[in-house]
Structure 1
Amino acid sequence: MDFDKAFARLIGHEGALSMDRKDPGNWTGGKVDRGVLKGTKYGISAASYPHLDIEGLTLEQAKEIYREDFWEVIGKAHPAVKFQLFDAAVNHGKGNAIRMLQRAVNVADDGVWGPISQRGLERMDHNDVLLRFVAYRLKFWAQLTTFDIYGRGWTRRGAENLLLAAEDN
């Protein structure tokens, strides 16, 4: 799994400009009605990147942000796991994605990937890791207060990622 292939897959989940006032990610303050409503484009949100001109963001600029900020979240991993972690890091933030993977490999979920987490990953079959990881993502989405609004899309994303995991293993 190289970055270009992973990006091409992931960008299919991330759309054009969204200015949904109910989405906390669209606000520079990270909460509804906090800061400036700048939106989200290509999955790059005003909450995470308040200094960016979200509306003027190009696909190439978004791709470079993905490469720099989300691609190398952990070191060595099976390509299928690497893609799933990349997708989760973009969608939930790196810390949350790492915590989900740590839970999936049965180590302390502190959000910091180190040698203990890596050994946990290497001890498990990657198919088991994939199933457990996506299950933790589904649980994460379901506990969000905005699930009633956005849950259908998130669930669809999880199902598509399970299908991709089956192709990648």
Structure 2
Amino acid sequence: MTATTFERAMPLVLAHEGGWSGDPADPGGATNLGVTIGTLSLWLGRPATKAEVKALTVATVAPIYRQRFWDKIQGDALPAGLGYALFDFAVNGGSKRAVIGLQRALGVGDDGKLGRITLAAVAERDTKALIDALCDGRLVFLRALSTWPRFGRGWARRVEEVRKAALAMATETAAPVDPAKCPTCGKLIAA
């Protein structure tokens, strides 16, 4: 849809990602604002240090999120709620895994590449039903991970919160515009 969807989705994702974490049970390793040391290393083109991960700010991670996750899932081409749900999935589980989840929800070939076939299938489906199917499939994937016993409760809460926010976004964007009302404040416009 529009670039403003990314700007709206980014703080929602960051709220789930939180701040600094050095949990040895986390396969991502040192992480801050959802950016792992591995992702930062790829971004920098060299091995990152834990100090560099700790020093990350919202301003420094936003371009990483945009390029490595949002653009890879073609968030601007997706309906707002679906774009947010897929973006959160990509950040939490990887862009390829998220796209495979979407493709499985759509019943199209699941190569992990969001191309014209996947986008055409998205255009033919009800956005809210697709958000539900994507979130359901995401939970199935997460429950199969060996780290589910440690992180599962938080992941399940996150997926349900993402589902709720994504469905709200889909409802907002699907609501018809009333030409008799002010689009900003909702008051009736005098004829």
TM-score (norm 1): 0.88
Greater RCO structure (CA 8 Å; 6+ sep)? 2
Could you tell me how far 1:71 is from its partner in structure 2?
1.5
Larger gyration radius, structure 1 or structure 2? 2
What secondary structure does 1:156 align onto? helix
Deviating 4+ runs (over 4 angstroms)? none
Kindly tell me the number of residue pairs found equivalent between the two proteins.
157
Matched, 1:84 2:85: yes
Match of 1:43 in 2: 34
Match of 2:8 in 1: 5
1:39-71 Cα offsets, whole Å, 9 max, x none, are 100000123333332122222111121112111
Match of 2:131 in 1: 130
Could you tell me how far 1:23 is from its partner in structure 2?
1.0
What secondary structure does 2:92 align onto? helix
Please tell me whether the aligned partners of residues 141 and 147 of structure 1 are also in contact (alpha carbons under 8 angstroms).
yes
Kindly provide the amino acid, as one letter, of the partner of residue 110 in structure 1.
Answer: D
1:107-137 Cα offsets, whole Å, 9 max, x none, are 0111011111112111211111111000111
In structure 1, what is the Cα distance between the partners aligned to 2:114 and 2:9? 21
What secondary structure does 1:13 align onto? helix
Kindly provide the amino acid, as one letter, of the partner of residue 6 in structure 1.
Answer: A
1:69-128 Cα offsets, whole Å, 9 max, x none, are 111222522110011111111111110010001011110111011111112111211111
In structure 2, what is the Cα distance between the partners aligned to 1:54 and 1:158? 25
In structure 2, what is the Cα distance between the partners aligned to 1:144 and 1:58? 29
Identify unmatched segments of 5+ residues in structure 2.
42-46, 171-191
Kindly provide the amino acid, as one letter, of the partner of residue 7 in structure 1.
Answer: M
In structure 2, what is the Cα distance between the partners aligned to 1:9 and 1:168? 12
Match of 2:94 in 1: 93
In structure 1, what is the Cα distance between the partners aligned to 2:121 and 2:167? 22
Q: Which of 19, 22, 42 is matched with 2:25 structurally? A: 22
In structure 2, what is the Cα distance between the partners aligned to 1:4 and 1:118? 22
Match of 1:64 in 2: 63
Kindly provide the amino acid, as one letter, of the partner of residue 5 in structure 2.
Answer: D
Higher helix share: 2
Identity of aligned residues (%): 32
Could you tell me how far 1:8 is from its partner in structure 2?
1.3
Could you tell me how far 1:2 is from its partner in structure 2?
2.3
TM-score (norm 2): 0.78
